[in-house]
Structure 1
Amino acid sequence: MTEEKIEQGTCLRCGRVATLHRGLCIDCFRKSSEIFTIPDYIDLTVCRSCGAQLKGKHWEYGGELKDIIEDEIHSSLQELSGVEVSLEDIEMRRGGEGLYHVEVRAVALFPGGGVIPTRKALTVRVKSSLCPRCSRIHGSYYEAIIQVRGSGKDLLRQEEAVDRVLERVDQIARGDPMTFVTKLVKVRGGWDIYVGRNQSARRIAQEMHRLYGGDYKVSSKLVGRREGRELKRFTYLVRLPPWRRGDYLLKDGTPHRIEGFQGRRVKLKNIETRREESVEISSVETLAHYPSKEVEMEATVLYTSEREIVIMDPVSFAEVNIKKPPGWKRRESVKVVRVDGGIYLL
């Protein structure tokens, strides 16, 4: 808005003494000039599936139709020099196919404090189309499959892993609309997730492998050629290990807590010695497995001696003596692991 000098004087039209704008008082100025202008028609191209808007040669995602129309009105509005226009409300009503009749209510703010409410009407013509993203989704397009496999005994963890994949797809799609899930298929032993962007599928599969450990394999097949280049579809297999982080394995007669995974290796912590080690998953797959929710318990402390803590077994209610760890401080209860008849202090 161009700054204009505020003048007090006699209106050239009505003779009233007032704040003048271009020699006229506000009332006379309103009758003689348009405060702001907008086009009679605004043409938009909008995706009929997701509502994305075509701007020039590019699609913009994430806006509601009313917001898109409001943005177009704002960008096409032309204010009269020296007047600041504030849009108060935009009312839309549906006309014929692809037509919206719009009324714009605004307030014009003049130098010196003058305020004029004003209205304008226009028609928005919306052309319906399909954006590239929705066109690919409707055509069942995909560049990669993420295969989540696991133990049939732990379906909940499979579903948790699938939910995490879908969540990551949604997060990446905010910056890359070509990342999407075409379909989600339940298969024997797990799930297949069809993803529109190979780079995103690879990234997510690698993240899942780092998080859960287990087996990770990549394969591809040739599906065609484009401009002399080979077109391939990729498959990323993420096979979940048979246990969760925090579960226990009975190794060498002592419970070992699963601290984490790294590829095909698992990190274990001996509950008695507190020593940690990393071993191949395949070398411990046959060991007895105890889910943490089944073996971790609270036990009441009955009394302590110089070297031992005496607790009540939370299952048999018998007294159990446990070696007091260095620096242990007296408390009413302790967390223990009860595995294969033995009780170990956490």
Structure 2
Amino acid sequence: MSIRDNFCPKCGKPSDTEGLCMQCRIGSTPWFTCDGRIKNVQCPSCGATKQVNTWTDSTRSRDELGPELAKSAVHFHPDVKKPVIDVTVQDVTVNRSRASLVIHGTLYKTPVEGTCTVEIIWNKEQCDRCNRISGSYYEGVVQVRADDRIPSTYEVQMSASIAQQIEDTLQAGGERLSFISDMNEIHDGLDIIIGSQHIGLMISQGIVAQLGGRYTTHPKLMGEKNGRQLFRITYSVRLPRFQKHDVVVVRNRYYEIERVESHHVRALDLKDGTSKSLRDDDIERIIGNSRNAESALVAFSDSSGIGILDPLSSRTIDFGKPAWMDIRAGEQVNILRDGDQLIIVR
């Protein structure tokens, strides 16, 4: 050993540097700290978890959350490399668990190991969304109605399905307060009670895009909060007078509506198969909708026409063969009734 060798000022052993030797550096460095207690706040209704003042949807169980919470209580020195934490969680009471941690890592190229214990407190608190729902809070209503008629069962079911799909999409995107608190089917349509104005707008636009029609908004001032005016909005969705697949009469000819547009419809002539544009005012009456059609057996089919077996009377009724359909004997066709007359529809 020469006079130029470095010595550790703490233990007197040779050192690779002018300061502390490796063992003394490790011994004097708090390479990790461990919080003795950590809290978890979870909504008992929906399972959402709260961090600071923010709620986040979660489907993880207590057994899954425990080890992760315990690990979050450990804080490492910046020089620690490749840290590994092994956790064992044991429930002490309904609201408390004790986590035992074994911690490994590398500090200054030397393996280190330590242990600590973390107490996990399980708190229950109703989240912002469940609190609003249970308190019957809402920011608007989407009212689905139809012009000069009552919406069909199909339209009501489609409107409800569209609303639920939009709610799922917004919730998955993190908009927790964009919820549907209730849906009520009434005699002239559907009322959808919504928790935010954004979801009300999205539902209204979605229903109109799928079923046609239009919507208008009607805000009502409900008060003020923190100097900001609070409105409750009614979204009035008006479905068109006619809907897709309606079978209508125009000048003694039957048409099946293919598309509803502003003040007119595109319809299939059920006699010659041509597509025509009809004004709303030209339509004399509605026979029904092909979604509600009956199924009837084709008794015979030849070059001159076809015979349909009436499922009610069991009589065979002769028809001219529709130019827009290839119908063969033994097949089934869809029919609607206009009084005693049968109409073949798609």
User: What band does the TM-score fall into relative to the shorter chain?
Assistant: 0.5 to 0.7
Match of 2:168 in 1: 170
Following TM superposition, by how much is the alpha carbon of 1:179 offset from its aligned partner in structure 2, in angstroms? Answer: 0.3
Identify if the C-alpha distance between structure 1 residues 329 and 335 changes in structure 2 by more than 3 Å, giving closer, same or farther. Answer: closer
Query: Which AA in structure 2 matches 1:43?
Result: K
Which string of whole-angstrom CA distances, capped at 9 and with x for unpartnered residues, describes residues 10-44 of structure 1?
Answer: xxxxxxxxxxxx9xxxxxxxxxxxxx996442222
Which string of whole-angstrom CA distances, capped at 9 and with x for unpartnered residues, describes residues 87-142 of structure 1?
Answer: 6x86553616xx321456989899xxxxxxx9986421134434333333344332
Following TM superposition, by how much is the alpha carbon of 1:288 offset from its aligned partner in structure 2, in angstroms? Answer: 2.9
Distance 1:90 1:282 in 2: 76
Query: Which AA in structure 1 matches 2:268?
Result: K
Query: Which AA in structure 1 matches 2:65?
Result: I
2:320 to 310, 322, 327: 322
Task: Report the number of matched residues.
Answer: 301
Distance 2:288 2:141 in 1: 32
Match of 1:55 in 2: 51
CA contact (8 A) 2:40 2:121 kept: yes
Distance 2:264 2:209 in 1: 11
Match of 1:255 in 2: 254
TM-score by length of 2: 0.68
Query: Which AA in structure 2 matches 1:300?
Result: V
Distance 2:301 2:68 in 1: 72
CA contact (8 A) 1:209 1:238 kept: yes
**Which stretch has the larger CA shift, 229-238 or 133-142?**
133-142
Residue 123 (1) aligns with residue 122 (2): no
Cα root mean square deviation, aligned = 4.1
TM-score by length of 1: 0.68
Q: Secondary structure at the match of 1:54?
A: strand
Which string of whole-angstrom CA distances, capped at 9 and with x for unpartnered residues, describes residues 220-268 of structure 1?
Answer: 1222245554332211112345665323222322221122334665432
Distance 1:73 1:108 in 2: 15
1:133 to 116, 123, 129: 129
Distance 2:187 2:245 in 1: 27
Query: Which AA in structure 2 matches 1:191?
Result: L
Match of 2:309 in 1: 313
Name the % identity: 21
- For structure 2, list consecutive stretches of 5 or more residues without a partner in the other structure: 1-21, 23-31, 107-113
**Which stretch has the larger CA shift, 135-144 or 322-331?**
322-331
- For structure 1, list consecutive stretches of 5 or more residues without a partner in the other structure: 1-21, 23-35, 111-117
CA contact (8 A) 2:306 2:319 kept: yes
Following TM superposition, by how much is the alpha carbon of 1:178 offset from its aligned partner in structure 2, in angstroms? Answer: 1.3
Distance 1:229 1:37 in 2: 45
Query: Which AA in structure 1 matches 2:320?
Result: I
Distance 1:133 1:324 in 2: 57
Distance 2:99 2:226 in 1: 50
Distance 1:76 1:263 in 2: 63
